[in-house]
C-alpha cells in the first residue's frame, strides 16, 4: 500500500497535473495583476490555501521522483541536482511569503528620521464608548473588488456593536452647473473630493454646513489716471466692479484752467481741477457717489513708482482721481475685490448624519448662502446672470454593484475618475435597531484620528490606518532630485528620480536610561586649509575644533567635483583637488539602483538587511520622495536553488554523455577482453589439431 502511494507521488502523471494547474493559476494571476492589482492576484491566487497546498505537493513530487531512484547512478547526477534546486527555490519563495516584507516610506526633506514602514494593508480599528479595548481587523483595500469581498467579518470589542463593509466607493453625487452664458457642465464628485472649476472650487464633505455670515460692506472705489494728450485713461476697480465711467482731461495752452469731463451712469459732469484738488465732491443725481481728485500733474512723470512732476510746465498734464460709490460686499478682511486678491468662489456639498444633502456657497458678488438640497431642483449660483447648479443624482451606497453591471445610472462616469477617488471603504455600524453609514478613508500608519459616530446610544470610534512595522534603525531624506526633460520646465516629465538617504541606528533595548541616541550617519569632508571655497561655505558650517572639516550630505560625485548639501539647504560644488579626504555614509538611490542597510557580508544571504528603492515622487512637492522597503529572507535559498537548477541542467546536457561514455568504454573493454580469450582458445585448438595430424 505504502509502496503504491510512493510510486503515485513519484509518478510523471502527477507531475504533469501539478504543473498544468500551476501554469493555469499563474496565467490567471498575471491577468488579475494586470487588470486589477498585485493585491488581488495575491489574495485570489498566490496566497490562497489551495495554491500553497499545490506548491507543497509539487515539492513532495519532486522529492519522491528523486528518492525513488536511489541509489543514484553517476549519469543521474544532473537529474538529482536539478530537482533538489527546484525544491530549495520553492522553499525560499515560501519563506519570503511567510516572513518577508514589502512596504513604503513617504519621506520629506527636513522631517526627523523615521523607523515606520507602511505596509500595503490596512487595519479597521473599532472602539466603543472610549474603552481601552480596540478591535483590529486586517483588510487589503486594493484586494476588495465586489460584494463577495464585503463579507469579511469586522471585529468589534462588544457583541452588541456590529460593523460591516457595504461598499468600496464613497457616496457619489452628480452635479450640473449651467447658465445661458456658460452652457452646461456636468461633474461627478465623491465624498471628500475637491474639484477645481477655474476661478471656483467644488467640494463634497460630511457634516452640516456653517451658518451663512452677512457680507462685510465697504464703499465702491475706482481709481483713474487721465491724460490730456491721450484719449485712453488708466482705470482700476479697488472695491467692487467697474461701472464704465469715462473721463477726459482738457487743458488750455497756458495750463491755467484744466477741466475734467466725466460721463458716469448716464450723467455728464464738468469739473474744474485746480479748485477741487483733495476735495470730495458729490455727484448730483447719483446717490452715494462722490468724486475726489488726488492730484494734478502738469508735466507727469513716474518717479520711483510714485506719480510726480518733472516741472511746472504743462507739457504732459495728468489727473489722478477716485470715484466712490454705494456700499458693496468685500472680502473676509475687507481685502480688495479685484485681481489676485479677489475672494474665491466655492460650492461645498454636505452629507449630514441624517443622510440628507445640503450646500454652502460663497460668491464674490452674492456673499454666502446655505440650504438643503433636493434632487433636480436648481439653486442660483455665482457667475453670470442665470447661472445655477442642480444635483441630478445622489448614490449613497451600492456604487460597486452599479459599476459591475454597467448600470445606466452612472453613464458618463469614466473608470479613471473612479480610480482617482480617495481610497477607503464604506461601513455600516449597527447598534440595536439603529444603523449609520460611515466612510473611512485610508490614513497614515501613526498620524490618524479615530472618527466618532453616535449610534443606538453608544459612541463608536472607527479608523482605518495602514499597517506598519518598525525597523531597528531610522531613515531620513537629505535631498531629492528629479531633473526634468530638457526644454520641458512645465509638466511631469522627468529624466530620473534620485534620493540621498541618511540612516540612524537606534539605542539597544538594554541601553541604560538617559543614554543619548546615535547621530545620523552623514558624510564627512575635510578640505585643504588654503581652499578657496572655505570662506564661501562659511565657518558656521564647519566643525568648531576643525574649521576645514564639514558634516553634510554628498549628493553627487563627478570626476572633478563633489556636491555638498547642508541642513540649511545650502549647496556647494567643491573641486576634488581641494579635498584632503572624504568619508561617505549617506546612501544614494535612484531608479533601478537600490541600496541596502545595514550592510554586512552575511546580510544578503540571511535576509537580515532592508533594501531601499526609489518608488515615487509628487511633482507638486519637490522635497518629497516615495521609497519602497523590501526585506527578503528567502533570498539565499532562491538563488542557491536557481544556481543548482542551472548547474543540474548543464550536467544533464553536457556531462551526461561523459558518464555514459565511461560506461560504454568499460563495456567495450569487457567485450574486447572476451574476444581476445576466444581468439587465443581458437589458436590453441588449431595448434593441437596440427600436432595430431
pLDDT-derived band at 447 (thresholds 50, 70, 90) equals: confident
Residue 585, pLDDT > 50, answer yes
pLDDT-derived band at 659 (thresholds 50, 70, 90) equals: low
Per-residue b/e over 7-26, b at no fewer than 16 CB within 10 Å? eebbeeebbeebeeeeeebe
Higher pLDDT, 234 or 488: 234
Lowest average pLDDT, out of 99-103, 239-243, 264-268, 601-605, goes to 601-605
Mean pLDDT confidence for 271-294: 92
Identify the helix (H) or strand (E) that includes residue 644: helix 635-650
What's the farthest any 2 CA atoms get from each other in the chain? 172
pLDDT-derived band at 33 (thresholds 50, 70, 90) equals: confident
Rounded to two decimals, the pTM is: 0.74
- Are 152 and 425 spatial neighbours (Cβ–Cβ below 8 Å)? no
Ramachandran assignment for 367, one of left (phi > 0), alpha (psi -120 to 50 degrees), beta (any other): left
The angle at the Cα of 173, spanning 170 to 177, to the nearest 5 degrees, equals 150
Mean pLDDT confidence for 549-562: 92
Provide the grid cell at 612: 531601499
Select the highest-mean-pLDDT range: 7-16, 297-306, 327-336.
7-16
- Are 239 and 325 spatial neighbours (Cβ–Cβ below 8 Å)? no
Mean pLDDT confidence for 602-624: 85
Structural domain spans, the chain: 2-102+635-657, 114-168+420-470, 176-212+363-417, 216-330, 472-624
**Residue-level pLDDT at 658:** 62
pLDDT in tens, 633-654: 988 899 999 999 999 999 888 8
Mean pLDDT confidence for 17-44: 89
Higher pLDDT, 270 or 364: 270
Alpha helix (H) residue ranges in 477-623:
534-537, 603-606
Work out the burial of residue 426: count CB atoms within 10 Å of its CB; fewer than 13 is exposed, 13-18 middle, 19 or more buried. Answer: buried
Residue 592, pLDDT > 60, answer yes
pLDDT-derived band at 334 (thresholds 50, 70, 90) equals: very low
Question: What integer best gives the mean pLDDT of the chain?
Answer: 86
**Residue-level pLDDT at 343:** 43
Residue 689, pLDDT > 60, answer no
Residue 146, pLDDT > 90, answer no
pLDDT-derived band at 340 (thresholds 50, 70, 90) equals: very low
Mean pLDDT confidence for 489-501: 75
Residue 271, pLDDT > 60, answer yes
**Residue-level pLDDT at 242:** 86
pLDDT in tens, 604-614: 777 889 999 99
Residue 690, pLDDT > 70, answer no
Select the highest-mean-pLDDT range: 67-81, 231-245, 278-292.
278-292
Residue 464, pLDDT > 50, answer yes
**Residue-level pLDDT at 252:** 87
Mean pLDDT confidence for 615-628: 88
pLDDT in tens, 183-199: 899 999 999 999 888 77
Q: Specify the DSSP class assigned to residue 341.
A: G
Residue 333, pLDDT > 70, answer no
Residue 484, pLDDT > 80, answer no
Q: Which of 425, 448, 447, 449 is nearest to 438 (CA)?
A: 425
**Residue-level pLDDT at 685:** 53
**Residue-level pLDDT at 339:** 35
Q: Which of 77, 87, 168, 100 is nearest to 469 (CA)?
A: 100
In angstroms, the CA 80 to CA 70 distance is: 10
pLDDT-derived band at 460 (thresholds 50, 70, 90) equals: very high
The angle at the Cα of 412, spanning 408 to 417, to the nearest 5 degrees, equals 120
**Residue-level pLDDT at 337:** 38
Looking at the chain, the whole-number percentage of residues with pLDDT higher than 70 is 90
Amino acid at each position: 500500500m505504502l509502496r503504491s502511494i510512493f510510486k503515485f507521488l513519484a509518478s510523471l502523471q502527477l507531475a504533469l497535473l501539478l504543473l498544468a494547474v500551476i501554469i493555469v493559476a499563474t496565467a490567471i494571476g498575471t491577468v488579475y495583476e494586470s487588470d486589477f492589482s498585485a493585491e488581488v492576484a495575491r489574495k485570489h491566487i498566490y496566497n490562497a490555501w489551495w495554491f500553497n497546498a499545490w506548491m507543497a505537493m509539487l515539492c513532495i513530487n519532486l522529492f519522491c521522483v528523486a528518492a525513488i531512484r536511489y541509489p543514484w547512478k553517476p549519469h543521474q547526477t544532473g537529474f538529482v541536482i536539478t530537482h533538489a534546486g527546484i525544491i530549495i527555490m520553492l522553499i525560499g519563495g515560501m519563506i519570503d511569503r511567510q516572513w518577508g516584507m514589502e512596504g513604503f516610506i513617504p519621506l520629506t526633506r527636513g522631517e526627523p528620521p523615521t523607523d515606520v514602514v507602511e505596509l500595503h494593508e490596512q487595519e479597521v480599528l473599532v472602539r466603543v464608548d472610549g474603552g481601552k479595548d480596540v478591535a483590529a481587523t486586517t483588510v487589503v483595500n486594493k484586494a476588495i473588488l465586489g460584494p463577495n469581498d464585503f463579507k469579511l467579518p469586522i471585529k468589534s470589542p462588544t457583541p452588541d456593536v456590529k460593523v460591516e463593509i457595504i461598499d468600496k466607493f464613497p457616496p457619489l453625487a452628480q452635479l450640473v452647473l449651467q447658465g445661458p452664458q456658460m452652457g452646461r457642465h456636468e461633474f461627478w464628485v465623491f465624498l471628500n473630493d475637491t474639484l477645481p472649476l477655474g476661478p471656483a472650487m467644488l467640494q463634497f464633505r460630511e457634516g452640516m454646513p456653517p451658518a451663512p455670515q452677512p457680507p462685510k460692506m465697504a464703499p465702491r472705489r475706482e481709481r483713474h489716471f487721465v491724460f490730456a494728450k491721450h484719449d485712453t485713461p488708466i482705470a482700476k476697480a479697488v472695491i467692487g466692479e467697474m461701472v464704465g465711467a469715462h473721463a477726459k482731461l482738457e487743458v488750455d495752452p497756458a495750463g491755467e484752467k484744466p477741466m475734467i469731463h466725466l460721463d458716469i451712469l448716464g450723467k455728464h459732469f464738468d469739473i474744474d481741477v485746480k479748485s477741487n484738488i483733495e476735495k470730495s465732491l458729490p455727484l448730483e443725481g447719483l446717490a452715494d457717489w462722490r468724486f475726489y481728485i488726488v492730484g494734478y500733474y502738469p508735466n507727469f512723470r513716474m518717479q520711483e513708482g510714485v506719480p510726480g512732476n518733472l516741472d511746472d510746465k504743462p507739457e504732459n498734464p495728468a489727473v489722478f482721481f477716485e470715484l466712490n460709490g454705494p456700499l458693496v460686499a468685500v472680502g473676509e478682511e475687507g481685502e480688495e475685490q479685484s485681481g489676485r486678491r479677489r475672494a474665491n468662489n466655492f460650492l461645498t456639498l454636505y452629507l449630514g448624519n441624517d443622510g440628507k444633502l445640503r450646500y454652502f456657497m460663497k460668491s464674490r458678488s452674492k456673499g454666502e448662502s446655505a440650504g438643503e438640497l433636493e434632487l433636480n431642483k436648481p439653486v442660483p449660483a455665482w457667475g453670470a446672470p442665470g447661472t445655477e447648479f442642480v444635483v441630478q443624482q445622489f448614490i449613497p451606497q451600492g456604487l460597486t454593484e452599479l459599476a459591475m453591471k454597467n448600470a445606466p445610472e452612472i453613464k458618463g462616469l469614466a473608470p479613471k475618475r473612479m480610480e482617482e477617488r480617495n481610497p477607503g471603504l464604506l461601513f455600516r455600524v449597527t447598534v440595536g435597531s439603529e444603523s449609520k453609514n460611515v466612510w473611512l478613508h485610508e490614513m497614515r500608519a501613526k498620524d490618524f484620528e479615530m472618527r466618532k459616530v453616535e449610534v443606538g446610544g453608544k459612541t463608536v470610534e472607527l479608523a482605518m490606518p495602514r499597517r506598519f512595522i518598525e525597523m531597528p534603525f531610522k531613515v531620513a531624506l537629505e535631498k531629492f532630485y528629479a531633473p526634468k526633460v530638457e526644454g520641458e520646465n512645465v509638466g511631469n516629465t522627468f529624466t530620473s528620480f534620485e534620493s540621498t538617504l541618511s540612516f540612524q541606528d537606534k539605542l539597544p533595548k538594554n541601553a541604560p536610561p538617559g543614554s543619548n541616541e546615535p547621530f545620523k550617519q552623514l558624510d564627512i569632508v575635510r578640505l585643504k586649509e588654503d581652499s578657496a571655497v572655505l570662506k564661501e561655505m562659511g565657518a558656521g558650517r564647519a566643525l568648531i575644533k576643525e574649521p576645514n572639516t564639514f558634516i553634510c550630505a554628498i549628493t553627487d560625485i563627478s570626476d572633478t567635483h563633489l556636491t555638498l548639501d547642508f541642513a540649511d539647504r545650502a549647496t556647494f560644488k567643491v573641486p576634488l583637488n581641494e579635498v584632503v579626504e572624504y568619508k561617505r555614509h549617506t546612501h544614494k538611490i535612484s531608479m533601478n539602483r537600490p541600496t541596502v542597510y545595514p550592510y554586512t557580508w552575511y546580510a544578503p544571504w540571511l535576509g537580515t538587511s532592508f533594501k531601499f528603492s526609489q518608488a515615487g515622487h509628487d511633482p507638486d512637492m519637490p522635497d518629497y520622495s516615495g521609497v519602497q522597503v523590501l526585506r527578503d529572507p528567502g533570498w539565499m535559498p532562491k538563488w542557491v536553488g536557481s544556481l543548482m537548477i542551472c548547474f543540474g541542467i548543464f550536467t544533464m546536457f553536457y556531462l551526461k554523455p561523459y558518464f555514459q561514455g565511461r560506461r560504454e568504454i568499460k563495456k567495450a573493454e569487457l567485450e574486447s577482453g572476451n574476444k581476445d580469450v576466444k581468439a587465443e582458445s581458437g589458436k590453441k585448438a588449431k595448434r593441437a589439431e596440427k600436432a595430431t595430424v
